[in-house]
Chain A
Amino acid sequence: MCVENFEVSLNEVFSRFKGRREELIPVLQAAQAAFGYLPVEVMKEIAGFISVPESQVYGVATFYAQFYFSRRGKHTVKVCLGTACHVKGGGRLMEAFERELGVECGCVIPDYQFGLERVNCVGACAIAPVVMVGEDVYGHMESNRVKEVLDKYEKGS
């Protein structure tokens, strides 16, 4: 991470807040939006800004599922495993993505092109099973369309 940009971005994030204790979660959210995840250096700076021990920042950040602590893929594949998707074969879809990408759920592939995650419901239950790649939603997904969907992103960008 480039130190100069790091400070500029973080100062920009901090400029939107007052540094109050109750701002911890919104600050973490804003920092993650700026950096894509929460590097340790960023969390240390946040601890200073909010005036709480680093352990508390880490404790809060790890409590909530929204926060990431390592670099994410360029495209994040989210396989929905909400109840409707589960009963319609979401689990088999997840396995198909794991097979195709060669990583387990929760991991990023070595070239950082794709990350694979599960999500507990995107609320598009009527078109279950659902998979999201970035902001794009694929409904009525089938295992044998997995490669076709991934190819779109590999070639496209």
Chain B
Amino acid sequence: MRKVLEPLRQEAIQRWQALQNSDKPVILVGAATCGRASGALDVMAAIEDKLREQGRDAIVRQVGCIGKCHSEVLVDIIKPGRPRITYGHITPELAKQLVEDYLVNDNPRTDLAVCAASGEETDIPCADELPDSKHQIRVVMCNCGHIDPGSIDDYLAQDGYMGLAKALEMTPQEIIEVLKQSGLRGRGGAGFPAGRKWESCLKAKSDQKYVICNADEGDPGAFMDRSVLEGDPYSVIEGMAIAGYAIGASKGYVYVRAEYPLAIRQLRLAIQQAKEKNLLGKNILGSGFDFELEIFQGAGAFVCGESTALVLSIEGRRGMPKPLPRPRTTEEGLWGKPTLLNNVKTFACVAQIIHRGAEWFKSIGTEKCPGTAVFALTGKVNKSGLIEVPMGIQLKKIIYEIGGGVAGGREFKAVQTGGPSGGCLPADLLDLPVDFDSLTAAGSMMGSGGMVVMDDSTCMVDVARYFLEFTLEESCGQCTPCRVGTEQMLKILHDICEGKGREEDIDLLVEMGKAIIDGSICGLGQSAPNPVLSTIRYFRDEYEAHIREKRCPALVCKKLIYYRIDPDKCQACGRCLKACPVQAITGAKKTPHVIDLSKCTKCGVCFEICPDRFSAVERKTGQAEELN
């Protein structure tokens, strides 16, 4: 089959090389959702306008997420004979200047540059030596930000489809053996060995089987799967085709959130192109293997990340997980047929594992968790972005070296992983290696890959309440511990946040949390108490401060804080006075302003509007009466 692929590949490689060796400059604009949110399409239009105006010729291409979301909009320029230079924080105006300065006048504008592909440009740091690149290894995201996600030729030129071509020459059992040897574990969160899952699906006897890619990424604060689909949809499609061949399925579905319009568009385009090249559809590469792929748009239900719920959703029903005991989805899934369900990133790894071999994959990461982990690193960190690191890397390396530490020089408090199913880990666990088992043992979990950094201005009780509110809202409601239990826990958390907590509430929360974990029928309920339990485990003192002293040390819980204007700092500028929506502030010219706490709704507008050079408005916790 590799012989059939070879001409397609050679043609693609030639095109790719022609582009790399082009005598025209190549300009790449990071135009995934994160880039677009920062104005990437306007930047692109500005570049094209300026080129036209200057009568210059250049190749302008859109690429997916490069991962450095903290510096969006990102523009890369490759001038003939010069290394690729990455520019950050580009606005349409800066983009026009950049075209003029670098393309027309040959000034590489080192002041705007983030990094260069090699050390030749002495004033620009080399990409590989940047602290945030040093620890990263790109497997799942190796093509993101590199190829045009709308061009299958780009993908073919990066050894794309070598995995499928090789797989089609192997027997299904051989493929599964490679997968088992590689130690690949499902990237959706739980980390179940992929090879074993595939094998049980292969062994299930049926006239029809299905492959489903779970791209129903619902965790708040997570966008890894979306970025992969937007930046390199082909790797997922190729992985799914290999899975289809390995388990004996001729039909696959990608279950994507409808909230990801760009990912759906790129995926649709990629499927179309793969069909045209006979890499999907009937008799793929002349092997006799047929595989069709369809996109199903999820309609917004977090619980549909659970396998039985997701399957029901494709069948057009309410996505309510089926209770145990029940057959596994690999035996009885979609329309009662054996179904293989894996996450986007799992499929994205498969093609490379087959192409490069199990040993290569095992050489990355740890013995029990080979490969890489993709995280959306966000929150109170200097360099937010999408990162890919070898499994087993220490948390502190991710936060301090890749993420550049806590933003604003504040103090690190916690890092949250695993979304609403995970937990918060404190500073003394920063040496923890990041892998499925270590995170679970510490009371959190790997999850799909959200990693939110929290500083001393984040209230852990409020965070626990936030996640529980989310799971309560998303609970399908069929089992009592999850439906009723989370609501009761939430009521207690509301009380604590409002200063009405009782001494025994903490133990009650722990007891209820354990009961919900034991009594719920699906993963949503079984993990819903994790954010509460982990914050109690590591930040019990904060709960106690809320309950005993009616204080919110992080100054977040509204009922426990108040605002005050420091008369010594107030310059009587009148900004807060005008901005206050309830006229709670009084004062006059040259008279320091005062907040009437009986009128104040604690909206915080005065705090935000007070100029940094005065910083006269203070947020305080405790009993305000003492001051008035």
Contact = CB atoms under 8 A, between A and B. Distances in A.
Contacts of A21: 315-316
B376 interface: yes
Contacts of A123: 33-34, 222-223, 226-227, 376
Contact of B313 (A23, A25, A127): A25
A29 B608 contact: no
B316 A25 contact: yes
Interface in A60-97: 60, 63-67, 81-84, 86-89, 92, 95-96
Contacts of B258: 29, 66
B301 A65 contact: yes
Contacts of A86: 220, 463, 466
Given A84-B379, A84-B452, A122 B300 contact: no
Contacts of A151: none
A125 B378 contact: yes
A120 B470 contact: yes
Interface in B10-43: 33-34, 36-38
B384 A125 contact: yes
Contacts of A50: 316
Interface string B221-253: 111001100000000000000000000000000
A29 B476 CA distance: 20
Contacts of B604: 89, 92, 143
A65 B301 CA distance: 6
A80 to B, nearest CB: 8
Contact of B379 (A87, A119, A122, A130): A87
A148 interface: no
A83 B69 contact: no
A130 B37 contact: yes
Contact of B223 (A63, A96, A125, A143): A125
Contacts of B368: none
Contact of B416 (A22, A28, A83, A96): A83
Interface string B150-173: 000000000000000000000000
Which of B37, B227, B470, B608 is most buried by chain A, counting CB atoms within 10 A of its CB? B37
A123 B256 CA distance: 14
B316 A125 contact: no
A92 B619 CA distance: 14
Contacts of B72: 126-127
Contacts of A119: 259
A143 B33 contact: no
A144 B608 contact: yes
Contacts of B227: 123
B454 interface: yes
Nearest to A65: B300
A22 B603 contact: no
Nearest to A128: B378
7 contacts: A25-B296, A26-B296, A87-B379, A92-B603, A96-B605, A120-B302, A123-B226
Given A22-B314, A29-B258, A137-B36, 6 more contacts: A25-B316, A83-B467, A87-B454, A121-B220, A122-B259, A124-B37
Interface of B: 33-34, 36-38, 69-70, 72, 218-223, 226-227, 258-259, 296-297, 299-302, 313-319, 376, 378-380, 384-385, 416, 419, 450, 452, 454, 458, 463, 466-467, 470, 476, 579, 581, 603-605, 608-609
Top-6 shortest CB links A-B: A123-B223, A83-B221, A126-B69, A64-B299, A65-B300, A125-B378
